[in-house]
Amino acid sequence: MSRRTFLTTTAWFLAGMALSSVSFARIPLNPGEGNRIQKQLRFTVTLTNPKPYELVDQVLWLYMPAAETPTQKLESIKVSVPYERQIDPLGHSVITLVFPRFAPLSAKVVSFIVNVSMSASPEMAPLENPQVWLRSERYIETDDSIMQSLAAKLKRQETRDTALAIYDWVRQNLHYTGYLANDRGAAYALDQRQGDCTEYAYLAVALARANGIPARMVGGYVTDKNAILRATDYHNWAEVYFDDAWRLLDAQKEQWLSPAEDYVAFRFYRDKEDNPIGLAHRYSQSGELEIRF
């Protein structure tokens, strides 16, 4: 499921134009270790100038797989055009493509090959600043009174059992609508008892946070092997933190804790602009190019 939200931000446009004089931190890509599962993901992006005149200073920012998560490591990136890469405070890998001049009525296909290593068992580590993943925010209405009431009914003595009760309630009580073009949020999902994978994830996260369990919505792709990624395959799921690790909770696909090695994370939702993509789900641009995945 994709979210084709666009964002044009003047400040980030200027930052993109200054790439020649400002160097982003380059993060080394290390080979996988141990019994990690290696996967290669391929996809293309088609950029089109529909105008009868040349476009200048066009910029595209997009997510690659997150640099490192408890179950994932980004090993390498190959792009068919020059690019810059940065890591934001949440560990996102953000690619910047700059096109100083783009010919009129022309198109360019940019290809991407990324290699990741995945683990079935999450790496355990203390959670820094858990309050970030406990607060109410846009689309995750933890403070909603109806949300609070349901969360109280789902609370169990152990954190793991509470998270499992939330997973069971969401998967059993929501109707899957298929793809929705716009985010609706947890309160909508609870009121209407329906939504796509995004609303399933928002609701699970909101209920977990209402019970004091750090939780976050993740966006990416689910695959058990090497894959050619399609925009329509983009998926959102929830992760909850207990027993010193982030744990998979995908009520829409009915996956609890496993198979975590199949879930390749590209983005962690937060209602804050931590990078040039801002609040968009997958990519943003500055300019007039048409973007097609």
For the chain, domain boundaries? 10-121+274-292, 130-268
pLDDT of residue 33: 46
Between the alpha carbon of residue 119 and those of residues 27, 116, 234, 260, the distances in Å are: 21, 10, 20, 7
pLDDT of residue 145: 97
Q: What is the mean pLDDT of residues 270-286?
A: 93
- When the candidates are 2.60.40, 1.10.287, 1.10.10, 3.30.2420, the CATH number that belongs to 10-121+274-292 is 2.60.40
For residue 239 the two structure tokens come to 């992760």
Position 8 pLDDT exceeds 60? no
pLDDT of residue 18: 38
Confidence bin at 64 (pLDDT 50/70/90): very high
SS3 of residue 23 by DSSP: coil
What is the Cα gyration radius of the chain? 20
Tens digits of per-residue pLDDT, 118-136? 999 999 999 989 999 999 9
Q: What is the mean pLDDT of residues 217-231?
A: 97
Which residue bears the tokens 């939780």?
215
- pTM attached to this predicted model: 0.87
Question: Where are any strands of DSSP class E within the chain?
Answer: 37-48, 55-64, 68-69, 72-79, 84-87, 93-102, 107-118, 175-176, 194-195, 215-222, 227-228, 235-242, 245-250, 255-256, 263-268, 283-286, 290-292
Tens digits of per-residue pLDDT, 96-108? 999 999 999 999 9
Position 16 pLDDT exceeds 50? no
DSSP state of 225: S
HEC assignment per residue over 133-191? HCCCECCECCCCHHHHHHHHHHCCCCHHHHHHHHHHHHHHHCEECCCCCCCCCHHHHHH
DSSP state of 264: E
Confidence bin at 265 (pLDDT 50/70/90): very high
Tens digits of per-residue pLDDT, 162-173? 999 999 999 999
Beta-strand pair 235-242/215-222 = antiparallel
With beta carbons less than 8 A apart as the criterion, state whether 24 and 274 touch.
Answer: no
Class of domain 130-268: alpha beta
Tens digits of per-residue pLDDT, 245-255? 999 999 999 99
pLDDT of residue 181: 86
Tens digits of per-residue pLDDT, 176-186? 999 888 999 99
Amino acid at 110: V
| C-alpha closest to that of 240 among 222, 257, 263 | 257
Q: What is the mean pLDDT of residues 262-281?
A: 94
